[in-house]
Amino acid sequence: MKRFFCCLLGVLVLALAACGGGRKGPLVTNLGSPESNSCLKKLGERFGLRDLEGVLAESALFNSTNGDRVYPSFVTLDQAAYDPFSFNSDFLKDHPDFQDSNCRETLMRVYGQALDVKKADFQGTYLAFDREDLAKNPALKKIDPRTYAGLFNEIALDRKAQSKEDRERIFQEALDARGFKNHQGAKVVMVYLEDPDQGVYFVGHCGLLMEEGGRYYFFEKRAINEPYSLLSLDSKDQLVHILEDRYGAEDIPNLVITEDMKVLAWD
């Protein structure tokens, strides 16, 4: 029995080391080291993520031409300088036929099998390129387009709603109408941004939040032609602050963060 507990403790220590070594504070990796890849695979096994081998292969190809602009191992977030305009000048030149994915496509690629939602036709303009990608990218062929649209379609603004409480209530009602169900343990986090000119909220970013061993892990594709990243966090609030800082802007009247289609934060 003593030997069993020693072995179990050894496994837990190895898993912890692969996912940041027990360090506190927000950490980030763009994958690529044996430790960070192992961390994502362990999370995948625990939470039912699929096609991670394909994701890691694409990540390695992308990272190979971006040098010190990516972080294969976990580093503290404040050490990870990030310039979205610095990526891919070499990569796109050397790999003109590479078909990359955005955050929404990546989420559905690795976790779409765990989600149910009322199917819908594509609406508005924000998913126009996604619709084309689903039709031509072989890595996305298992994604049902109508399920994709049902999950990510824009939400219309109600311009008659005056108070913040009314806007939040109407927004949550629109989310509830989608009939969302999550059959696995990872949480779907979305960042909705308000476009007052178009009169909609659209999904500007999304990723998967996983709680394991007292830590929170957020897996995301930063954007098309930008790297994958895995955040290791102390708390869910830490993720909210990171996303608010990253996507909040003066020209964005409202930013709404949701977790499994429930409003988590409204900025």
For residue range 183-214, list pLDDT tens digits in order.
999 999 999 999 999 999 999 999 999 999 99
- CA torsion, ordered 234, 239, 245, 251, to nearest 10 deg: -170
For residue range 154-180, list pLDDT tens digits in order.
999 887 877 888 989 999 999 999 999
For residue range 111-122, list pLDDT tens digits in order.
999 999 999 999
Q: Note the pLDDT of residue 262.
A: 98
Amino acid of residue 1: M
Identify the weakest region by mean pLDDT among 35-39, 128-132, 247-251: 247-251
Alpha helix stretches (DSSP H) within 159-253: 164-176, 236-247
Residue 88 pLDDT grade (very low, low, confident, very high; cuts 50, 70, 90) = low
Amino acid of residue 201: Y
CA distance 58 to 80: 21
CA distance 19 to 41: 10
Contact 139, 100 (CB under 8 A): no
H or E element: which one contains 169?
helix 164-176
Q: 């036929």: which residue's tokens?
A: 97
For 58-151, list the strands marked E by DSSP. Answer: 75-76, 115-116
**Within its chain, how far is the Cα of 67 from the centroid?**
23
CA-closest candidate to residue 111, choices 216, 162, 181: 181
Domain locations in the chain as residue ranges? 22-266
Q: Which two tokens stand for residue 23?
A: 């360090």
Q: Note the pLDDT of residue 20.
A: 75
CA-closest candidate to residue 107, choices 230, 221, 228, 30: 221
The answer for residues whose C-beta is within 8 angstroms of residue 61's C-beta and 6 or more apart is 95, 98
The chain-wide mean pLDDT, for the chain, equals 89
Beta-bridge partner residues of 228: 221
Instruction: Calculate mean pLDDT across residues 123-150.
Output: 96
Q: Strands 228-233 and 215-221, how do they pair?
A: antiparallel
The answer for residues whose C-beta is within 8 angstroms of residue 91's C-beta and 6 or more apart is 62, 64, 65, 66, 98, 225
Beta-bridge partner residues of 220: 229
CA-closest candidate to residue 56, choices 34, 78, 87: 34
